[in-house]
Structure 1
């Protein structure tokens, strides 16, 4: 029952996971208050074109009001900006619409870390329930009537077809359904996009429940900390005043959720004291052990007359393949963008600019962490990426870059453009990579789940924060390791699975 005058659950963050969680809790009869620091657009007609147009990433550019635009730091001291959605719908309202499930190998790893409730057979029903796959929804292991529409681009442009032919030329298998959990290869990208319109988690989950008496959505409200009394979360302190609830769930993402835990006095004691924050729970894993996908772009210059534009989608196909020595299949991802990235980001033509082919290392040995700049709630935390600090990671990224270069030099692409020339020497290529190194912005695991025997586990496998009653985290921060595909579909899955665990024990 809700506290007198309060709510059953306050969900902090109306992002990709938070929208799914809140909707399913409402379906289960809970009274839910969903808080979001960014704007709320309750009617479809209110949604700005920047958030609807799935051919561009205009809402992810620095300075856009829907972008948190966080600071990040790479190992060589270079700084970068980290886009994260600051709007109802979260990053699902600002990203490229890539909607590929985690793999069975990902789930097996999470379960092996002491989280049997996150094994593949426990996750598949939720994956089926959340989707309405327009292409294969009638097949086993897929869903046809879920809230999230999933479709693959129809009919590639000549350049997209050439990328597919180049992958075949290199002997890469076809993978027509990236969400079937099969062997990695080249195939079309499943997207939560219909007729060029990005369908965010807010569109999919909140829109059908607007006006429900059990749901209130408040945009423009920043949560400053969790309110704790005698070891229990009793609500949150916000920019608009205190809110009380019987239970608090943080869905602010792999940056926002650990940041709120730290601001609330839950985290590594020494770091909290250094920031002038009273230590309420010494939780050494908060902000530590994060994983992401290091990313490098290779330029490919189209010849005169070759159209380089997004058409229906800025991404049509994607290659997943396995490097030598990898512990799981599909640890390398090659993403051929179909337009200059400057055009994808701004929506404006960029004539004469090369298109980029991204190379992502999907499974790393190195980890990253989130640190406090200071203890002020209004200060952004810093994401410290330790990309390629491990020799094995650097070697596998080098192999991935060479594979992408081989793809771009394939006969099938010869009539379309010129690939960049890479250094042949390993040491020189490593320098080339480090000069261009960035991140895919897929940070996960900064408040990971795990058994009591894991000193770095922040939550148990039912997503309850250890040492605090009535507090959970339900977003990609809880994943023991980032999925080996982009995490958007996984974030929705965490919201769905979190609601199951809260209402029926999962």
Structure 2
């Protein structure tokens, strides 16, 4: 493909769907560039990346991920990872595929217009999925590339979790993709029959024989070429050699860190900051990397009374959503159950005899506290990434609430049938705000749900980097189509939303929407 119409950078949660949908038009030549490997058959992904009981992204040294050194707080260094493989992070994540809430779409529509309203995106949400539990109806899809199934909750720990939630009076939420009241229920997942079906498998493997689609692995984009206000191509490094690929349009789907960093390296970002690094400024766009949001997370482990069976199909157990005491955001606290010990998730094994099991407790309020800064014009130099967690009293209060709610669940009579109690924190720490704050800061993690580094909004808004269809303000022929463009993070994990973004932007491009 000598001069493609569109170059898509990144074959992950958004890029794979976008490239697949664009290439359904036989008159549009599409080149998809992926930094990691690109298998041509499902079995070539290997057992580790397919087994839904494993989470390769929990292993910072796994060859299918790219690590980023970050600071969750000024005193809390951490390592987060992103997928570097066909399918991106959908190849290495937990298979959680829960839609954003209507309130999220309301917030996004306030910035991006009616195209982002729940009513307008629902047809796309339906078209991207095959819901194996509900089939095609007014809410669910029956013919899309992403197969969805909910966990059966038959594992003894999952049954005890459900009973404990009932004991505390939490409502049932049997379908977390139906916009019902938050409560306890199974997790919709793109893992089916024990296999994690990432977007590379779901969208691309069946499209690789299209003559107008080229998918190139081992291809790292280092810069977008911008000439006289137009993106004319990308600089690609492959096997140690750099070449320039010219094209009609560039779409960045490199993830919330990768896309923002690429824009900055290409001269699109805060002008004074880039000029100090010797990067020629193409567009002074202060919004790029200025803020981002994510979900702070804690791991609370508990000791089983007896050896429990390994999960049969997925590491995921039940999931409870409840609201923080301020009531500002409905269902913004999440307690997610792991049926594999944390020691197993981090080691790549399903069972660890004698090890505790865990709940992942997170705060999913739509807060923006992070910042990304480019430190060098060298594309190989990583950016500085600060999450800004625990910056406010509300941040700490919500984390205390979700930690105490998790402890209360473990302490129920129903859950005590399988559990001997929490490993930590103990009753003294749980009862004291100051002690609990200290425990939280020392063990703080992140759900790795980064969004908002290049938020959408009107061209005259200095806090917006792109428009409602991902077009970069100030540059023709350049879009961003991944979770970078969300003005706030969703109040659920963003995997399903990332796929939606690929679908939405591809639809806009194919129909020439203004």
TM-score by length of 2: 0.95
The answer to whether the 8 A contact 2:342-2:358 is kept is yes
- 496-505 or 30-39, which moves further after superposition? 496-505
Superposition pairs for residues 132-281 of structure 1, below 5 Å?
132-240=130-238, 241-281=243-283
- 306-315 or 240-249, which moves further after superposition? 306-315
Aligned equivalents of 1:259, 1:81: Cα separation in 2: 17
Is 1:445 aligned to residue 447 of structure 2?
A: no
SS at match of 1:208: coil
Aligned equivalents of 1:76, 1:402: Cα separation in 2: 25
Q: 2:41 aligns with which of 32, 40, 43?
A: 43
SS at match of 1:84: strand
Q: Which runs of 4+ in 1 moved over 6 A?
A: none
Aligned equivalents of 2:512, 2:82: Cα separation in 1: 31
Q: 1:460 aligns with which of 461, 464, 467?
A: 467
Summarize the Cα distance change of 1:86–1:429 in structure 2 as closer, same or farther, 3 Å threshold.
same
Is 1:362 aligned to residue 364 of structure 2?
A: yes
Aligned equivalents of 1:340, 1:434: Cα separation in 2: 22
Give the match for residue 90 of structure 1. Answer: 88
The answer to whether the 8 A contact 2:148-2:188 is kept is yes
- 7-16 or 362-371, which moves further after superposition? 362-371
SS at match of 2:346: helix
Is 1:295 aligned to residue 292 of structure 2?
A: no
SS at match of 1:486: coil
Give the match for residue 492 of structure 2. Answer: 485
Summarize the Cα distance change of 1:97–1:114 in structure 2 as closer, same or farther, 3 Å threshold.
closer
The answer to whether the 8 A contact 1:175-1:183 is kept is yes
1:5 Cα offset (Å): 3.8
1:472 Cα offset (Å): 0.2
1:138 Cα offset (Å): 3.1
Aligned equivalents of 2:340, 2:58: Cα separation in 1: 17
Aligned equivalents of 2:176, 2:33: Cα separation in 1: 33
1:366 Cα offset (Å): 4.5
The answer to whether the 8 A contact 2:366-2:490 is kept is no
Q: How many residues align?
A: 502
The answer to whether the 8 A contact 1:310-1:344 is kept is no
- 270-279 or 66-75, which moves further after superposition? 270-279
| Cα deviation 1:159-187 (Å, max 9, x = unaligned) | 11000110111110000001001111000
Q: 1:374 aligns with which of 373, 376, 397?
A: 376
Is 1:23 aligned to residue 20 of structure 2?
A: yes
Runs of 5+ in structure 2 lacking a partner? none
- 426-435 or 110-119, which moves further after superposition? 110-119
Give the match for residue 388 of structure 1. Answer: 390
Aligned equivalents of 1:448, 1:404: Cα separation in 2: 33
Give the match for residue 123 of structure 1. Answer: 121
Aligned equivalents of 2:331, 2:450: Cα separation in 1: 18
Aligned equivalents of 1:355, 1:273: Cα separation in 2: 50
RMSD of Structure 2 on Structure 1 (CA):
1.4
The answer to whether the 8 A contact 1:10-1:248 is kept is yes
Aligned equivalents of 2:113, 2:287: Cα separation in 1: 16
1:312 Cα offset (Å): 1.8
Q: 1:12 aligns with which of 5, 9, 28?
A: 9
SS at match of 2:127: helix
Give the match for residue 319 of structure 2. Answer: 318
SS at match of 1:167: helix
Aligned equivalents of 1:347, 1:61: Cα separation in 2: 7
Runs of 5+ in structure 1 lacking a partner? none
The answer to whether the 8 A contact 2:64-2:85 is kept is yes
Summarize the Cα distance change of 1:47–1:458 in structure 2 as closer, same or farther, 3 Å threshold.
same
Give the match for residue 348 of structure 2. Answer: 347
Aligned equivalents of 1:373, 1:301: Cα separation in 2: 44
1:478 Cα offset (Å): 0.2
The answer to whether the 8 A contact 1:16-1:201 is kept is yes
1:115 Cα offset (Å): 2.8
The answer to whether the 8 A contact 1:70-1:382 is kept is no
1:451 Cα offset (Å): 1.3
TM-score by length of 1: 0.97
SS at match of 1:16: coil
SS at match of 1:138: coil
